[in-house]
């Protein structure tokens, strides 16, 4: 009997037990399960003859598995198994960031299967959505396979095919239904969630999403998911279908998918024929399983050389894949709209009104975003991390306001076709929980320091991808590099997972933040070693865990190359050019714990560099420079 709430599922009919059948009748993915509590989807997997007794586990890639117990899986007529971090093995790197209930929106996991659960020929696998909380309304199984004891996949790749969104049609294709959907998008009265006690909210669909709904079209949210989400917010099935029809009718690009993190870096991302495709990211396939795999792309498969670290060079971070999965579009969207958090106080604020009226076609775009960012800072309260006022609800409210501005910034960028050039703002970095001092711990995002730090790292990473200054920084804008780098160590301490590859990408971009045509006399834009991170990070004891995954010889070569590049750039200018009579010391103070890797006095770490195996001739050059620099400094400070 088919479950009365059977979600859209791609059901593979029973086939003869031969491999050629799989190619002719592939299982369509994703398997989308969205709707009310108890919604199920079932698929049939045909196992080649004599393979059933080899099956030991079910491998899955699931998007939207937000919390333990949210999903249950059944094989044939066996028992239902709830997925959590004990019943299923979550693969790295997602496991390091909390696994189920952690930071990653899409997880790869393996569910053990008792012997005898799978039979030759047809096997039914059922997925059940156990019920909505105040956020989630479903999930997607992006991929699956049955594995043998040795981890071999028993179903060939051509057993599966990905659904093509280009084939989707509006559920209701008449002009009246589409117009009704547009009206609902902008004005329908909604409730906060599908829970029985959900309250009415003031925000409409267009308030949390892009105003015209282009984000749902751009990232190819299916009709099923749009209808389910409409019902989640208190609308009828017909109203959901009208909204889905409106979204399908939009004449905007649609290169993305809901599970592909926006702007996820990877090779070829900047070579897209259409610049408008950049926000779709390089896809989950470009999220690496191991952080050290980044090094092959960073060094182009060759041995590290000083040229890679050249401060006058240009490393394109958008083309370098990393093992940190960035937030998907669902995690860009605010969970509490500022209108429902602050009401009239928000409506009458500059934070709200600048968005509504502040940007016209003739406006200076960087100036607008600067004013809007200042308005946000003025509007949102800033508490100290140790304040007793913090609660999960307050943190969620403040973080949602940051997300609202990020989504609306994406909206503006897309509407004006600005994604082909760097974003002219610092709003991605401003979305990090730490920017509002949201504490690591139970009151932080996800209820844990690990998830809170994951989001801070992710949004700082996004800032680097969208606007890191690219040789055009002014002081500590658009990125305060020491502060950003410090959060690598914060995340590593909580996850136990070193990220030497991603960190090296950041170090190179930090060194390349100055104008190659401006010397030290340009205090805010030129090369000044005392205002940047320096090569001591490779040998400082506090940072040793970050590089623990590197083979010793590779770490030595990287250290030498970074040090040589830093020294060559520093020695382009005379020691006296770094000083000026009457020039006071920088008022900037590096964050606690970073003083040993910031400030430019690299020669003071000679012993550590020697222990790391750095060549003696290079160290002698560093010492010679340090002695001259110190003598000149004494003259100017006399």
The domain at 19-163 falls in which architecture? Sandwich (2.60)
What is the band of 476 on the pLDDT scale with cuts at 50, 70, 90? confident
Give me the residue label for tokens 């280009």: 166
pLDDT of 460 > 80? The answer is yes
Pick the range with the lowest mean pLDDT from 281-290, 292-301, 352-361, 453-462. 352-361
pLDDT of 241 > 80? The answer is yes
Quote the pLDDT of residue 150.
Answer: 95
d(CA 475, CA 480): 8
**Residue boundaries of the structural domains of the chain:** 19-163, 166-249, 306-314+470-636
If you average pLDDT over residues 438-452, what whole number do you get? 96
d(CA 407, CA 332): 7
d(CA 428, CA 459): 6
Quote the pLDDT of residue 301.
Answer: 85
Question: Mean pLDDT in the chain?
Answer: 92
Quote the pLDDT of residue 50.
Answer: 82
Give me the residue label for tokens 């006071």: 584
Contact 92, 14 (CB under 8 A): no
Predicted confidence (pLDDT) per residue in 498-518, tens digit: 999 999 999 999 999 999 999
Contact 218, 256 (CB under 8 A): yes
State whether residue 9 is helix, strand or coil.
Answer: coil
Contact 43, 11 (CB under 8 A): yes
If you average pLDDT over residues 196-221, what whole number do you get? 97
Burial of 206 (0-12, 13-18, 19+ CB in 10 A): middle
Quote the pLDDT of residue 2.
Answer: 34
d(CA 255, CA 279): 9
Residue 587: CA count within 13 A, CB half-sphere: 3
CA distances (Å), origin 454, targets 435, 443, 459, 489, 491: 13, 15, 9, 11, 7
Question: Element (H or E) spanning 106, and its range?
Answer: strand 106-112
Q: What letter does residue 26 receive in the DSSP assignment?
A: P
If you average pLDDT over residues 142-166, what whole number do you get? 96
pTM of the model: 0.94
pLDDT of 263 > 90? The answer is yes
Contact 258, 219 (CB under 8 A): yes
Q: In terms of DSSP bridges, do strands 71-75 and 200-201 run parallel, antiparallel, or are they unpaired?
A: unpaired
d(CA 256, CA 222): 12
pLDDT of 388 > 80? The answer is yes
Quote the pLDDT of residue 593.
Answer: 75
What is the band of 19 on the pLDDT scale with cuts at 50, 70, 90? very low
Quote the pLDDT of residue 582.
Answer: 61
Quote the pLDDT of residue 530.
Answer: 86
Task: Provide CB contacts within 8 A for 463, sequence distance 6+.
Answer: 426, 428, 429, 478, 479, 484
d(CA 86, CA 452): 22
If you average pLDDT over residues 22-32, what whole number do you get? 80
Quote the pLDDT of residue 315.
Answer: 95
Regarding predicted confidence, which is higher, 92 or 269? 92
Q: What letter does residue 235 receive in the DSSP assignment?
A: -
If you average pLDDT over residues 259-264, what whole number do you get? 98
């Amino acid at each position: 009997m088919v479950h009365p709430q059977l979600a859209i599922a791609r059901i593979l009919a029973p086939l003869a037990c031969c491999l050629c059948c799989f190619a002719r009748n592939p299982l369509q993915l994703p398997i989308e399960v969205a709707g009310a509590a108890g919604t199920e989807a079932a698929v049939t997997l045909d196992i080649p003859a004599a393979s059933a007794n080899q099956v030991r586990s079910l491998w899955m890639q699931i998007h939207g598995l937000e919390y333990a117990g949210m999903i249950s899986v059944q094989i044939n007529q066996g028992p239902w198994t709830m997925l959590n971090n004990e019943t299923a093995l979550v693969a790295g790197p997602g496991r390091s960031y909390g696994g189920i209930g952690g930071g990653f929106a899409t997880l790869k996991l393996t569910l053990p299967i008792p012997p005898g659960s799978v039979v030759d020929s047809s096997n039914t696998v059922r997925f059940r959505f156990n019920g909505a909380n105040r956020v989630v309304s479903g999930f997607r199984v992006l991929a699956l396979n049955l594995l043998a004891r040795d981890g071999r996949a028993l179903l060939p790749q051509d057993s599966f095919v990905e659904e093509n969104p280009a084939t989707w049609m509006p559920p209701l294709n008449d002009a009246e239904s589409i117009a009704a959907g547009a009206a609902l998008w902008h004005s329908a009265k909604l409730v906060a969630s599908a829970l029985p006690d959900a309250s009415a909210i003031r925000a409409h669909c267009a308030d949390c999403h892009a105003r015209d709904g282009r984000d749902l079209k751009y990232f190819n949210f299916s009709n099923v998911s749009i209808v389910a989400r409409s019902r989640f917010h208190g609308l009828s099935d017909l109203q959901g279908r009208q909204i889905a029809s409106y979204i399908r009718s939009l004449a905007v690009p649609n290169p993305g998918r809901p599970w592909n993190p926006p702007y996820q870096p990877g090779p070829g991302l900047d070579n897209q024929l259409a610049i408008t495709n950049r926000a779709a990211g390089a896809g989950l396939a470009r999220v690496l399983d191991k952080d050290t795999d980044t090094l092959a792309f960073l060094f182009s498969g060759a041995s590290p050389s000083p040229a890679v670290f050249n401060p006058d060079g240009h490393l394109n971070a958008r083309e370098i894949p990393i093992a940190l999965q960035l937030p998907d579009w669902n995690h860009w969207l605010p969970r509490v709209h500022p209108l429902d958090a602050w009401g009239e106080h928000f409506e009458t604020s500059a934070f709200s009104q600048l968005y509504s009226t502040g940007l016209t076609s003739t406006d200076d775009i960087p100036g607008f975003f600067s004013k809007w960012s200042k308005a946000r800072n003025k509007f949102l309260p800033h508490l100290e991390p140790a304040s007793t006022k913090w609660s999960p609800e307050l943190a969620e409210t403040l973080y949602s306001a940051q997300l609202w501005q990020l989504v609306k910034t994406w909206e503006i960028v897309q509407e004006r076709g600005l994604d082909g050039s760097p974003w002219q703002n610092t709003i991605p970095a401003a979305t990090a929980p730490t920017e509002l001092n949201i504490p690591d711990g139970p009151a932080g995002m996800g209820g844990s320091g690990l998830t809170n730090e994951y989001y801070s790292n992710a949004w700082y990473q996004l800032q680097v991808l969208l606007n890191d200054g690219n040789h055009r920084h002014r002081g500590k804008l658009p990125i305060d590099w020491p502060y950003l780098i410090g959060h690598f160590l914060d995340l590593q301490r909580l996850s136990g997972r070193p990220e030497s590859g991603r960190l090296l990408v950041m170090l190179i971009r930090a060194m390349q933040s100055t104008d190659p045509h401006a010397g030290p006399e340009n205090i805010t834009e030129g090369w000044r070693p005392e205002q940047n991170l320096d090569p001591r990070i490779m040998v400082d004891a506090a940072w040793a865990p970050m590089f623990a995954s590197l083979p010793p010889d590779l770490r030595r070569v990287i250290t030498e190359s970074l040090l040589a590049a830093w020294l060559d750039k520093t020695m382009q200018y005379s020691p006296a050019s770094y000083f000026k009579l009457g020039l006071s010391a920088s008022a900037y103070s590096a964050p606690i714990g970073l003083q040993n890797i910031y400030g430019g006095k690299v020669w003071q770490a000679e012993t550590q560099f020697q222990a790391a195996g750095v060549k003696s001739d290079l160290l002698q050059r560093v010492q010679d420079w340090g002695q001259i620099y110190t003598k000149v400094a004494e003259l100017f400070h006399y």
